[in-house]
Amino acid sequence: MADSQDLTGLFAHEMAARLRSGETTTRELTAAHLARAHATDHGLHAWLSIDDDRALAEADAADARMAAALADGAAALAALHPLHGVPVALKDLVSVKGGQCTAGSRILEGYRAPYDAHITERLRDAGAVILGKTNMDEFAMGSSCEHSAFGPTANPWDLERVPGGSSGGSAASVAAFQTPLSIGTDTGGSIRQPAALCGIVGMKPTYGRVSRFGIVAFASSLDQIGPFARDVRDAAALLHAVSGRDERDSTSAPEPVADDLLHLPASDDEAASWLRGKRLGVPREYFVEGMEPGVAEAIRTAVADLERAGATIEEVSLPHTDYGLASYYIVAPAEASANLARYDGVRFGHAVTEGADYLADYLVTRGSGFGPEVKRRIMLGTYALSAGYYDAFYLKALKVRTLIKRDFDVLFDAGFDALVGPTSPDVAFRFGAKLADPVKMYLSDACTLPVNMAGLPGISIPCGLSEGLPVGLQFIGPAWSEARLMRAARAYEGVTAAAAWRRVQPHDLARLAQPGLPTPVERVAAAH
């Protein structure tokens, strides 16, 4: 029997193979990941809650289903989802009945979800084991995971640096081998950017591919749920498990879920062969001013690797990209100000009652429950929606959003299979480096947020190192092309399978188990 370190070091598809062969059990697999998470999270703070009892109960149920399938024969075994028995972590804005759901905010501290989110139901149906809930920027507003009300998460590549955000805990937990898979949400890059900074795979699907039922809302026309994993095949399996129409979400699309997601090539050579004859566009606007030279070099090297593998590479233009950041920071805060109006201290969550009157209690509740970044965006959004400014700001931003979408449509209608470029203009930055300048922080998402504005799918995969830290390569495709993007990303994995940087693990993994290691909160406090 493999020891716990061997089990946590496997890819999810390797775990599935061992479960089906009887080499290990779901309980052993779950116990190994729970033990690693408990032993290594003090200095990382990737988790807001770890539910050992529930996870082990789900593991036992998965083992019972596996034993029944093995007894019933090959057909019953084949009917099990590839994620059956595999552990997964959820960002702490996904509802799990009876479990906490804080969205990284004090205003939801103590709240217990009364029902399961759609994706929670889908994961249970697939037989996956939910380990717990991961840390995040408050209400998914941030690009560094420094805006969590419960303290920041560190990056396992360098514990003095951020993991990206807002899904920083989900990304860091996968990169630190605490879980093979996790769920994040992406409103302007909050899956792809932390995937890039943590050196893992992260996908934002087409808007409407995954139901948002049971997900705490930030900006409802932009939010989308997606997977984190350590390779493309695992990310594809997780996306397959959570995708599909849900009648409880009117924006959930009836598009069929492609079984191709479960059949990506295992062979690197076969995977790489997909690139032959494919036409890939490189948007010149994505090489933004201020991009770190090492990041630009890694991206250009990756593009050259794709071309050597048989792809046709063309420089293209997305002319309205420069307006993406400004329009996003009107649309997203406007929707956030409306969504967050429900946190009034009356119906659920944090409440402060001083015995004065409702309005006074409302103001004190929201003033003490929301953090500074959330307050900033509520004020921005309320201003943009106010009388006299609605037409000048919000409606104009929606018109620009249409132009951004049209830029992508023109290229895909011209026959490009995908667009390729950087995910983030920089590698993981140090704690506090961008907190004093919100605009500088917002620029971290300059290469990702146009995809959200257009409602398109995008995936980030590792493509090398800059100054010893991961760089992310982003593929973008037309609506409903997730399977194609997974093939493109898997092809790049195949092309670079022998690259030396692929064998480099996060530098600070060994430090995580050291006794007395300071928490991220303590390290940040000591630095200031």
Nearest in space to 185 (alpha carbons), one of 237, 236, 231, 220: 220
If you average pLDDT over every residue of the chain, what do you get?
Answer: 95
Query: How many CA atoms does the CB half-sphere of 131 hold within 13 Å?
Result: 32
At a CB cut-off of 8 Å and minimum separation 6, what does 162 contact?
Answer: 144, 145, 146, 152, 153, 154, 155, 168, 197, 428, 429, 430, 431
pLDDT at 485 over 60: yes
* Sheet arrangement for strand 312-316: 47-50, 129-134, 87-91, 181-185, 225-229, 201-204, 458-466, 469-476, 418-422, 279-283, 312-316
Does pTM top 0.85 for this prediction? yes
The pLDDT of residue 109: 93
Q: CA angle at residue 24 from 18 to 26, to 5 degrees?
A: 100
Give the model's pLDDT for residue 176. 98
Mean pLDDT of 381-395: 92
Given this model, what pLDDT does residue 351 score? Answer: 86
DSSP state of 94: B
Confidence check: pLDDT of 49 > 60: yes
Query: 207-262, pLDDT tens digit by residue?
Result: 999 999 999 999 999 999 999 999 999 999 999 999 999 999 999 999 999 899 99
Report whether pLDDT(369) > 60. yes
Decide if 190 is catalytic: yes
In degrees and rounded to multiples of 5, residue 244 shows phi and psi of 130, 160
What are the structural domain ranges in the chain?
A: 4-264+276-323+399-527, 324-398
Q: Is 91 a catalytic residue?
A: yes
Distance CA 7, CA 18 (A): 10
Q: What is the pLDDT of residue 443?
A: 85
Q: Across residues 199-211, what is the average pLDDT? A: 98
pLDDT at 301: 98
Here the tokens at position 39 are 């032993």
Residue 1: the pLDDT is: 34
- DSSP 8-state class, residue 476: E
Instruction: State the pLDDT at residue 362.
Output: 87
Ranges 110-119, 146-155, 469-478, 516-525: which has the least confidence: 516-525
Tokens 């419960």 identify what position?
Answer: 150
Q: Out of 6-10, 74-78, 260-264, 345-349, pick the least confident.
A: 345-349
Determine how β-strand 312-316 pairs with β-strand 279-283: parallel
If we measure between CA atoms, which residue out of 459, 487, 514, 483 comes closest to residue 195?
Answer: 459
**Closest of 73, 31, 29, 26 to residue 52, by C-alpha:** 31
User: Percent of the chain, pLDDT > 90?
Assistant: 89
Tokens of 505: 């693990």
Chain segment 98-134, per-residue pLDDT in tens: 999 999 999 999 999 999 999 999 999 999 999 999 9
| Contact status, residue 147 vs residue 169, Cβ threshold 8 Å | no
Between the CA of residue 46 and those of 87, 90, 326, what are the distances in Å?
15, 11, 31
Looking at 95, 105, 148, 166, which residue is catalytic? 166
pLDDT band of 76, cuts 50, 70, 90 = very high
Q: Report whether pLDDT(91) > 90.
A: yes
Rounded CA-CA distance 366/353 in Å is 12
Region 76-95: mean pLDDT is: 97
Please state which of the ranges 69-83, 242-256, 371-385, 428-442 shows the lowest mean pLDDT: 428-442
Provide the pLDDT for residue 5: 56
* Residues of the chain above pLDDT 70, percent: 99
- List the catalytic residue out of 182, 190, 243, 460: 190
Conformational region of residue 368, where left means phi above 0, alpha means psi within -120 to 50, and beta covers everything else: alpha
Q: What is the mean pLDDT of residues 448-475?
A: 98
Give the class (CATH, top level) of 4-264+276-323+399-527.
alpha beta
Give the span between the Cα atoms of 436 and 306, in whole angstroms.
39
